[in-house]
Structures are given as structure tokens and as C-alpha cells.
Chains A and B, each alone.
Chain A
């Protein structure tokens, strides 16, 4: 027998509130090209991206701390497959421990020839030094900055 299907698309627009902490964080990136973390009052660890409370001590964070722009790669991947509604491959991204921070923040790695994964994987090895770069036109978003090899 003929088995039939029916096609549907979801197209929903959300307008998410960032809250006070993330709003201040992104305003500093947009206006001053500076990434900040929040210090855990109890453990003194600097959490990046910043949160109003620490997941570890469960206490409120109490201080803004400027971090970076130098950093160290903590992990990475290089994507070669296209996924619906995600960027066109190839691209490399991962997590970087910025100078003065205790936790790593995600970002793209740019300025690399991504044609050979094995070569790029060596260039992006854990422990490699990177520098934060900021976009000329900044929107107050995670994509306003990225990392490049030093």
C-alpha cells in the first residue's frame, strides 16, 4: 500500500532576557572589548562566563574581575559536517582558559587553514597559547570575540 508522510516546519522567535550579570558582561565586551569573570566569594575562583552565584560553593559571586586577553586552549574540535541551521563547515571552536580566570569560556578559533584536521588538531593542542580578538562591529554577544594562535 502507499504509505504517506506530512511535512511541517517550526519557526519560532524567542526574545530571551539576559539578566543583570550577563547584560553587564556583554556591555563590557561591546563597549570596552574587555571580558570579565565573577569571583566566588567563598572559593575565590573566578568564573567565566560570569554567573551571579557559584555552582561549586552555591554562594553569590561578589566581584567583577577582568580576564584575558591572553589564554590557553583547554579543548577544541574542528567541524567538517554541515548541520541544518548551524554554520557552514569547516570551523574550529573550543574552550580557552583566559588569564586570571579559573574556568574556560567557549569561542571560535580563527585564522587557521582547516583543510587538514590532523594538522589543525596539532596546532590547537591543549595548552597552546591564544589571544582574544574582538569584532569591529560588536553586538553584545558571544560571537563578538574569538581566539587566534599567538
Chain B
């Protein structure tokens, strides 16, 4: 199948923070949209469709908040849809915008959204509600405990230590210092991470992403439109998604298809994106990766799912400096999800950051000579994995 290239022509993102008292929800969406529209120098009349990036309603406290956001994105009388795949919502929104264009239905599509996680008081209370109310919700499952159990299994299988996890935090924070959009921009040390209070063994406070407020918007266009209008662009050349089955307990025991330690379906999603982009050797062909990783331990299985290390080998390579911003396989030079997580748009920011890198517009956190990047998103408990390849 010959899928046409789709261009990214405009990017806007907030300076992520714990709270924004100066802007209510639709105003925050509008802020990101205005930045993206100014970036591509188009007007709202040029936009044919809007994909609205919005994770679980309860995080915002507004049911179907895309209704409230319809004016912020200028969607009146246009094709308009909301996407919600939990943490991967943002990359699913980019994929939906991509499909609108690759299918030939539209030439110019806006993907946009925002989140105010800081206003919900406690995201884990809400995220506990993603488990079924019959068998599993009576247990206090949340995204932290679910991924703490993944860390326990990953450590058991591959020997990851708490210090290895801390090393991811140190790398991410050092990177975020150079990214003015990141929420947590203070450097830290392995010692500081190890001394931070235990949240859910083995995940400590500093191993966790923050609850962030901010928005993101991207304008995508067809290659024909970009050529005709002589616009600047970078190109989405690969898109992939995959899912695993529902029950955590099926990813362990006897004869399981995927291990809760790993990110099996993320690997499938990445391989689909790589196949579409013609990537056969990611270590040689991928210059930079922006992988969704809300807790330090999950960056290891994300790196491995991206084909940048073999299963279980990423902690040792991290120790040797492989994945730092100036290392041989840069991962999360923005500081990643560990330094900003406005859930509805976090996975869109991964694509946006990958695009800025291959565009040469990442300023202080620019990876030298980055021409091809991979971005990912994870949602639910291993249900919604997405990957996108972006090239200059």
C-alpha cells in the first residue's frame, strides 16, 4: 500500500505548569491553537477538519468538554471529532488527523487539546476508575500501582535496580532544564531520587511524572497543499497502533502472550510505523526518540519497544550514556513525560517534539543532525499504544 506523506506545518504548545489560574479550559486550548496557527501562518478558514484531543472527562471535571472547546478550535461547520485513548490520546489524535489527509478527504487538519490535571485534586482517584467495577476496581489499582507492578516484573526479569530507575529521572530532568516548555526543570541527582518518599514500591516521588496543565496543537496538511502554497513542513512517514488484552493478570502466570514487564504491543505499534516508513534498522535510522514514559521504569521498556536496545539491555546502556541528549541514541531530549504530563495532549507533545527535532527548531535541546525521529504514546493498561515516525 502506498500511503502518501502528510506534512506537519504548524506546532504550538504551552509552557506546562502545575496550574494556570489565568486561563480556563477553553482559553488554554485556544492558546495552543493560536500558537500553531501563527506557526503555519494559515487562517481558520483554511482548516477543513478538527481532531479534538481529550482524555477521560473526569480529569477536567467537564463531561464531553470537546463541546466547550469547539469554538476554541474554530470547528463550527467543520468536520469535528473527539479522540480519547487515555494517555495516548494525543498521538491517536495526530493519527486521526493524518488519516483524514492520507485518505484524500481533507488537505488541512488541526489536532488540538489541553488538560488541567492540577484542577482534579488527585488523578489516581480518577484513573482507578479505568478498571472494571466487577473484578478489579475494589483493589486500589491506579496507573502508578499498575506500573509499579510492571517495574517489579521488569526488575525480576532483567535485574533493573532502583538506581537504574533514578538514572532515568536524572537524565530527564537534565534534559528538561534546556526545554522551556517542560514543567519540572530542576536538575536532580540519583541520591535525591533515592531519598524522595516512596509512593508505590519501587516507584518514588521523583520517579513519577507531574500533574500538569497546558495545551498542544498541530496543523497537518497534504503534500500537494504544502507544495502549492510553498509551506515549510516536516513529514509523518509512519503511523502504527496496537493493543494488548485487558487483564493485568493475563500478562503473567503460565503461557501468556505478553509480559506485564514489557511493552509488547508498543513494540508492535512501533514496528507498524517503522514498516510504513521503510525503517529496518532503527539504531542506525532513528536519530532521536520521544517515547511516552510517565514513570522512570517505563522508559526502559519503551526504549526496547522502539528497537533502540534489546529486551532487558536498556538499563546497562543508559549507564553508559547511550540515551542522553548528546549520546548515540538520544531518548526524550525534551525531558519527556517525566517532566510534563498534561494527559490529554502529552502524547501529541511527543510528536510535536519529534517534529521540532527533525525540523531543527528544538533550540537548546536540539539533537545535532536529527533527520528522522520516532514518537510514542501509551494509554490504559497496555491497551492503547501508538507510534509515529517523523522525517525532515
Could you list which residues of chain A lie within 8 angstroms of chain B, going by C-beta atoms? 3, 5, 8, 10, 14, 16, 18-19, 22, 43, 45, 47-49, 55-56, 74-81, 83-87, 91, 93-95, 97, 101-108, 117, 120-121, 125-126, 141-143
Decide if A142 touches B138 in the complex (CB within 8 Å). yes
Interface flag for B68 (CB, 8 Å): no
| Known contacts A14-B133, A103-B247, A106-B249; A83/B256 CB under 8 A | no
| Known contacts A22-B134, A74-B249, A104-B253; A93/B22 CB under 8 A | no
Decide if B140 touches A79 in the complex (CB within 8 Å). yes
B: number of interface residues (CB 8 Å): 46
Instruction: Give the contacts of B198-224 with A (CB-CB under 8 A).
Output: 198-203
Contact of A49 among B21, B135, B141, B245 (CB under 8 A): B135
Q: What's the dominant secondary structure at chain A's contact region?
A: loop
Alpha-carbon gap, A108 to B245, bound state (A):
23
| List of B residues within 8 angstroms of A45 by Cβ | 254-255
Alpha-carbon gap, A101 to B255, bound state (A):
11
| Known contacts A16-B133, A91-B140, A106-B249; A76/B254 CB under 8 A | no
For this complex, 28 residue pairs linking A to B, each with C-beta atoms less than 8 Å apart, are: A3-B21, A10-B61, A18-B134, A19-B134, A22-B134, A55-B247, A56-B245, A74-B153, A76-B152, A76-B201, A77-B152, A79-B201, A80-B197, A80-B198, A80-B199, A80-B200, A81-B198, A83-B124, A84-B124, A97-B252, A97-B254, A103-B253, A104-B248, A106-B141, A117-B202, A126-B153, A126-B156, A142-B139
| Known contacts A16-B133, A97-B254; A121/B125 CB under 8 A | no
Decide if A56 touches B21 in the complex (CB within 8 Å). no
Tell me the smallest distance from the CB of B196 to a CB of chain A, in Å. Answer: 11
Tell me the smallest distance from the CB of A7 to a CB of chain B, in Å. Answer: 10
Could you list which residues of chain B lie within 8 angstroms of chain A, going by C-beta atoms? 21-22, 58, 61, 121-122, 124-125, 128, 133-136, 138-142, 144-145, 148-150, 152-153, 156, 197-203, 245-250, 252-257, 260
| List of B residues within 8 angstroms of A125 by Cβ | 156
Decide if B152 touches A83 in the complex (CB within 8 Å). no
Alpha-carbon gap, A91 to B199, bound state (A):
11
Q: What's the dominant secondary structure at chain B's contact region?
A: loop
Decide if B139 touches A77 in the complex (CB within 8 Å). no
Decide if A107 touches B257 in the complex (CB within 8 Å). no
Decide if B249 touches A86 in the complex (CB within 8 Å). no
| List of B residues within 8 angstroms of A103 by Cβ | 247, 249-250, 252-254, 256
Tell me the smallest distance from the CB of A33 to a CB of chain B, in Å. Answer: 18
Contact of A8 among B61, B133, B202 (CB under 8 A): B61
| List of A residues within 8 angstroms of B198 by Cβ | 78, 80-81, 117
| Known contacts A77-B200, A78-B200; A83/B140 CB under 8 A | yes
Alpha-carbon gap, A97 to B22, bound state (A):
51
Tell me the smallest distance from the CB of B62 to a CB of chain A, in Å. Answer: 10
| List of B residues within 8 angstroms of A55 by Cβ | 245-247, 250
Tell me the smallest distance from the CB of B213 to a CB of chain A, in Å. Answer: 13
Tell me the smallest distance from the CB of B93 to a CB of chain A, in Å. Answer: 25
Contact of A102 among B125, B139, B254 (CB under 8 A): B254
| List of A residues within 8 angstroms of B252 by Cβ | 74-75, 95, 97, 103-104
| Known contacts A3-B22, A22-B134; A95/B248 CB under 8 A | yes
Tell me the smallest distance from the CB of B71 to a CB of chain A, in Å. Answer: 20
Alpha-carbon gap, A16 to B135, bound state (A):
12
Alpha-carbon gap, A79 to B149, bound state (A):
11
Contact of A75 among B122, B136, B138, B153 (CB under 8 A): B153
